[in-house]
Structure 1
């Protein structure tokens, strides 16, 4: 059973619809008890870092998530701001993150003043996996995913980098620390590539 954490932020129904089409059991977790039967957990997120952390704390699921991920070691996938929440902190705000991965979230470089890059980084971009296993199993060609963000996840351990993308400079767009995974892009908006990635996560 895949539990999609529904704390009021993220494209939870779009993710659920993909798993239903794949005939994989899933549920929307809106309270702590909904996480108990889950074998895998998806943590989506959109918007500002502090607001997302506040909404998660208010949901009453924070302690149950910490237990499920840190003690029971259930596989988890953070998506977009849900990925950023896996870090210790973010330049976007002052709230502490979940701290499940030793990382910080930093603002993308807008480039030189005379030729700035548009922020947020929005639209399709190539993703270069470090390995064709795990989340990226079965990708024969260079996958493309849909992005919408102004901040990026910077792991302190290079071994946690699972894939990179480039927006002026390279950045980690997917990470893995043991059973803890995160992707900066939106798989639920990324057509066949996103469907394959969500399917792969369910088999980890």
Structure 2
């Protein structure tokens, strides 16, 4: 069994790598490998796509690796392996990103768009950064052991608005509802950073590593 974390030069992967390795050791989930090699992705049993920064930049980074997006689609869509997108990696699961006045295509795996957060309270600062409670948790194996109100760590200016409400697995409140997690079938994505969310995040990572959709 192997879990790959995709490296496409979008952010520091050290904390994600360490958190997934720790929970893989505790759950017996096998090796965790950081890779930028599409062939390694094609052989993976689980795939994690992190992402920090702008939607368009992250998409461009993936496109710059020949065969990487094809490998993802082959393994996730055709192969049905468990997939987790984190932060911008989650946003890329949707149809389109609308950042800085320029639209950029996502994967289109979950219909919807990524839009700027617009809090109802103008005193709330953007980016949204810090600990927030997870609410309206859907019944999902990756959320096993989590409870309403458990806190996770966020840092972002944009969030996903899926076309289908059923694809929203959790929300948080920041001057109105913000999508905290999305998913369908063998795919799940979190706007928050599990690797920075202490107990909540480590439990979610462990659940993902043993998830059999």
How many Å separate the matches in 1 of 2:167 and 2:138?
A: 12
Indicate conservation of the 8 Å contact 1:132/1:138, yes or no. no
Q: What CA deviation, in whole Å up to 9, does each residue of 1:47-90 have, x standing for no partner?
A: 01110000010022111111111111111111001110111101
1:163 aligned residue? 170
In angstroms, what is the RMSD of aligned CA positions? Answer: 1.5
Q: Which runs of 5+ in 1 are unaligned?
A: none
The number of equivalent residue pairs is: 202
Tell me whether 1:183 sits opposite 2:190 in the alignment: yes
Q: Deviations over 1:133-178 (max 9, x none)?
A: 3121012463100101111111111111111101100122101111
Which residue in the other structure is 1:14 paired with? Answer: 15
Q: Distance in 2 between matches of 1:55 and 1:74?
A: 23
Shift of 1:106: 1.2
Residue in 2 that maps onto 1:100: 109
Deviation at 1:10, TM superposition (A): 3.3
* TM-score under structure 1 length normalisation: 0.93
TM-score (norm 2): 0.90
Q: 1:188 to 1:198 in 2, by over 3 A?
A: same
Displaced runs of 4 or more, over 6 A? none
The 1:142–1:111 alpha-carbon spacing in structure 2 relative to 1, beyond 3 Å, is closer
Q: Which residue of 1 aligns with 2:140?
A: 133
Task: Tell me, in whole angstroms, the C-alpha distance in 2 between the residues paired with 1:100 and 1:31.
Answer: 22
Instruction: Tell me how far 1:132 sits from its aligned partner.
Output: 4.5
How far apart in 1 are the matches of 2:114 and 2:148?
A: 29
